[in-house]
Amino acid sequence: MILKYLFAKNEAIPVGSAAVFFGFSAIVWFMIGTGLGSFNAAKLAFPDFVTGTEMFAFGHMRQVHVLAVIFGWISMAFAMAMMYITPILGNTRLWSEKLGLWNCMMWNISLLMGLSLMWMGVTSGREYSDFPWPLDLAVAAFISIPLAVNVWMTIIKRRTQGIYTTNWFFAASTFMLIIVFLVGNLPEYFHLTGLTEAYMTWWFAHNVLGLWITPVAAAIAYYVIPKVTGNPLYSHRIGHLHFWSIVVFYSTPAAHHLMSAPLPEWLKSFASVEGVLILVPAIAFVSNILLTMQGKWNMFVENLEVRFTVVGVLLAIPLNMQGGFQQTRSINWYIHGTGWMVAHAHLALLGFSTFLEAAAVYLGLQTLMKRKLYSLTLGNLHFWLLLIGFSTYWISMTIAGLIQGAGKIYEVPYIDVVIAEHPYMIARWLGGTMVFSSTILWLYNMWMTAREGTVIPAGRMPHELAYER
Amino acid sequence: MTWVFDKPLHTLTHEETVQKSIRLWEAEDLGGMTEDNNRLPVPVVILVLLTVATAFLTTIPLWGQRPTAAIYAEYIKVMDTPEILAIQEAQGDAAAMKRIVEINKGSEFIAAQGRHPVTMDDLRILKPQIEAVMELPAVDLKDYTVVGPIVKIANFEGNFRPNGKRVRQQPWWDKGFLIDVFYLSMFFIGVTVTVKRLPAYHWQPRHHDADPRHGDRRHKP
């Protein structure tokens, strides 16, 4: 239905169309991404599961799962948040709904092509930047640049003098994503090899997390908590500390991913200090949001969007404690290349950021479709399945990682390590499958919200109405 | 945009600019969002300072260093002595290695040897490589790293020695840390200047009359 607006005049396109398109696309990609994750986890838990077909081999499917989640779920949920929050904060309309719709459609097509090629084995072979170079250029041309143009132009055309904190992050992150994507993929355009390739690969991977996913997820919290609780943001000036420290301290420690590589040691020392300093933006962010909750903690129980957001913010604490210290030489020596890192990556993407994005999608779709959530029960079920599934995954993989670390250091035969971590691989599969199941429920709930959710009267917000089911 | 520097810890902005910011802050509706002007709570300031101290303390190169070839030179010197060969013959490699460690208890490298233990098999692999290095002119074994089974020139670029060779040893205070000090200083100066352009934290906006607190949500520790 939305596709009919692709060739309509911008003024004729209903406000929020692009955001709704992005919102539903994000949930569908989340379902695909977590479904692939569950499938991959099953292969690790039960080695005889689906064998003999090359395309279903773990090596073919792992990166499809990772990029479906990063560029499908997370980034499209971000785009959705930007499409509706940026104009609201500037008291204006999105600069171009039409560009937003085209952006979303081309995004879906590019991602589908990229993931299909990777599934068939056409890949750069570099973790996180696995797309072959033509797809990299397609991502820049059809995904990141149109998104950035729409966000920047909406901010430039705003009807306010000031710019709210959330929009600082949106504007900066969309800009930084373009730089990260184009520079991070240089090894492929120019066939750079060796250490240069390794460093650039991890510069890309680190900054996709640090300059895209982390700040945009935080920006969502800066919007959702004050908006839904009605409290003012606790501190504008702490927002400054957060914003600048994330730009300065998160952009520099890429070398800490390669602590055992023959990079210049001064670069590793520098990166390692900066790596611990990632805790500075984390402290600023968590304190600012939790202090904004003062007097409204009842909403943590009663309101679904606030609950998702606060859990995401709370997960930023273990995330940054792990991230800050696991990259130091002594700890990295033990946990590098083990399941600990897999657990940490899921804490970042499935814990911290997914909870914040889910809050944005819940709030955004209800607001834009002017429909109250179809079922609170399904919403609650989604929340608890996601939280329990994620926690099961995170804890089991952390333990498996510590076992692998011990096995690595004490030179335990590999097969003994595999046997020791088998129960945790089963727990990982169970946790991942719970997350996948919760996403199916979520998609159903949002679909039903669009069709049968109670209409929200003009001038009211979804959280001002009581849940009916 | 006038800057004033007479009370730098209070504000860097001319009063007229402060009043303009205050009027804008209270009057403007950013999509219904409001913001307070609280300072960073003191416990959070302490936490930030603690983080900075921790960042340097936990990352100095003392921790997690690779072993240098120098720490095994003494082991290699004694591994083929009659005493060790006799123990090896009678009780095996483990007992021989234990005796080698005992003999070197007074070594200046005792801590590094403790952190990087080796077996007799390791020593047999390392011995010819370390001996080859020792035959080079004007060599310092501390310039060589042991990476698994390989002895190779260390990946550090220190000052030049009088003989023209570089020092290949990581000082406890690396030049990466000096860059960090510079970087951190610039960051904190930059953020302080930015924040001091805002109205001082003693002032709080009054967001709307319906709020019983009248916007007064100053942090009172």
pLDDT at B216: 47
A273 has pLDDT over 80: yes
What integer is the mean pLDDT of A269-290? 96
Give, in degrees to the nearest 5, the angle at Cα A261 between A257 and A265: 90
Q: Which of residues 74-113 of A touch B (CB under 8 A)?
A: 88-91
Q: Does A266 touch chain B (CB under 8 A)?
A: yes
Read off φ and ψ for residue A352, nearest 5 degrees. Answer: -45, -60
> B33 and A227 in contact by Cβ < 8 A?
yes
How far does Cα B215 stand from its chain's mean position?
42
Can you give the residue ranges of every domain in chain B? Answer: 15-60+177-214, 70-169
Cβ–Cβ under 8 Å, residues B167 and B161: yes
Q: Do B207 and A232 make contact, defined as CB atoms within 8 angstroms?
A: yes
Residues A426-444: what's their mean pLDDT? 98
Residue B212 confidence (pLDDT) = 54
Buried b (16+ CB within 10 A) or exposed e, A253-283: bbbbbbbeeebebbbbbbbbbbbbbbbbbbb
Instruction: Tell me B145's DSSP state.
Output: E
Closest CB to A244 among B29, B55, B187 = B187
Residue A363 in tokens: 């709030």
- Quote the tokens at residue B20: 């303009």
Tokens matching residue A224 = 């959702």
pLDDT attached to residue B221: 32
Q: What angle do CA A27, A221, A384 make, to 5 degrees?
A: 50
Nearest by CB: A328 against B59, B191, B217? B59
Q: Which residues of A touch B42 (CB under 8 A)?
A: none
DSSP code of residue B151 = E
Interface ipTM: 0.89
Contact A34, A379 (CB under 8 A): no
Chain A: closest CA distance from residue B122 (Å): 13
Distance from CA of B82 to the nearest CA of A (A): 31
DSSP A469: -
Alpha carbons A246 and A57: distance in angstroms, whole number? 38
Chain A residues in contact with B12 by the CB 8 A cut-off are none
- Helix ranges restricted to H, A185-250: 186-189, 194-208, 214-229, 236-250
Closest CA to A276 of A309, A242, A232, A322: A322
Residues 166-195 of B with CB under 8 A from A: 170, 174-177, 179-180, 183-184, 187, 190-191, 194-195
Element (H, E) at B144: strand B144-147
Give the best residue of B20, B24, B38 to mutate against chain A (max A CB count within 10 A): B38
Structure tokens at A123: 């890949």
Three-state secondary-structure class, residue B68: strand
From the number of C-beta atoms within 10 Å of its C-beta (0-12, 13-18, 19+), residue B182 rates as: exposed
Q: Let me know if B21 is exposed, middle or buried by CB neighbors in 10 A (0-12, 13-18, 19+).
A: middle
3-state secondary structure A246-315: HHHHHCCHHHHHHCCCCCCHHHHHHHHHHHHCCHHHHHHHHHHHHHHCCCCCHHHHHCHHHHHHHHHHHH
**Residue of chain A with shortest Cα separation from B25:** A162
pLDDT of residue B2: 73
Average pLDDT across chain A, whole number: 95
CA dist., res. A32 & res. B110, Å (int): 55
**Residue written as tokens 């129960």?**
A423
Which of A165, A239, A269 shows the shortest C-beta gap to B174?
A269
Tokens in use for B52?
Answer: 């900075």
Q: Does A161 touch chain B (CB under 8 A)?
A: yes
For residue B183, give how far its alpha carbon lies from the nearest alpha carbon of chain A (Å). Answer: 9
Burial of A248 per CB tally in 10 Å (0-12, 13-18, 19+)? buried
**Per-residue pLDDT reduced to its tens digit, A2-25:** 778 989 998 899 999 999 999 999
CB A105 within 8 A of CB A146: no
What pLDDT sits at residue B170? 78
Interacting residues of A45 by C-beta distance below 8 A, sequence separation 6+: A422, A425, A426, A428, A429
Going by C-alpha positions, the residue among A127, A136, A222 that lies closest to residue A178 is A136
The answer, yes or no, to whether residue A373 has pLDDT greater than 70, is yes
Q: What is the pLDDT along chain B (221 residues), one digit of tens a residue?
A: 678 888 877 788 888 888 999 989 988 888 888 899 998 899 999 999 999 999 999 888 765 577 899 999 999 999 999 999 999 999 999 999 999 999 999 999 998 899 899 999 999 999 999 999 999 988 999 999 998 899 999 888 888 999 888 898 877 788 889 999 999 999 999 999 989 889 988 888 877 555 555 544 443 33
Amino acid (one-letter) located at A83: M
Highest mean pLDDT among A124-138, A370-384, B4-18 belongs to A370-384
Residue B158: what pLDDT? Answer: 82
pLDDT at residue B220, as a whole number: 37
The upper half-sphere exposure of residue A200, i.e. CA atoms within 13 Å in the direction of its Cβ, equals 21
Residue type, A93: R
Q: Which of A139, A162, A163 is nearest to A151 (CA)?
A: A163
CB-nearest partner of B170 from A239, A265, A330: A265
DSSP A4: G
**In A92-144, which residue ranges form alpha helices assigned H by DSSP?**
97-119, 133-138
Of A226, A232, A329, the CB nearest to B64: A329
d(CA A204, CA A468) in angstroms, rounded, equals: 46
- How many C-beta atoms surround the C-beta of residue A65 within 10 A? 22
- Identify whether the C-beta of residue A231 lies closer than 8 Å to the C-beta of residue A293: yes
CA B210 to chain centre: 50
| AA letter at A249 | F
Q: Is the model more confident about A329 or about B46? A: B46
How buried is residue A466: exposed, middle or buried, by Cβ count under 10 Å (0-12/13-18/19+)?
Answer: exposed
Query: What confidence category does residue A88 fall into, taking pLDDT thresholds of 50, 70 and 90?
Result: very high
pLDDT at res. B64 = 57
Give the residue-averaged pLDDT of A383-405.
98
CB pair distance less than 8 Å for A277 and B29: no
